Amino acid sequence: MGFSSQIQPDIEKDRFTLVFGVRYETADETILESVYQFVFEVMDLEQFIIYNDNQSITVNHIMPHLLSVAVGTMRGILVVKTAGTNFSKYPLPMIDVNQLNANLSTTKQ
């Protein structure tokens, strides 16, 4: 299982877009891939965004909460999409969003 993610803050509109997905694959092929765009409205978003020297972005404080919503929603989507198939035996496992956040970030939150 793998993850894809992309963050796109829009400071002017106080919107934060998180493109998040999961992929189940074997050594030879991708079996299932599901990627969705989550759009959050965050009051005063600018206070949570840090633009790093290497052109990356760090999101302070709120990122674990946004990831938690995305992971929970993705879990529900996968349950519905895999219902009645052999994939339903392999639900999205419990994920530590703080660890996921640390792996996705370039600096500590």
pLDDT band for position 27 (cuts 50, 70, 90): confident
Return the C-alpha torsion angle 66, 67, 70, 76, nearest 10. Answer: -130
Question: Is pLDDT above 80 for 43?
Answer: yes
Question: Is pLDDT above 80 for 1?
Answer: no
pLDDT tens readout for residues 55-95 = 778 888 999 999 999 999 999 999 998 999 888 888 888 88
Query: What percentage of the chain carries pLDDT values higher than 70?
Result: 90
* Helix and strand numbers, DSSP H then E, in the chain: 2, 5
pLDDT tens readout for residues 93-105 = 888 988 888 776 5
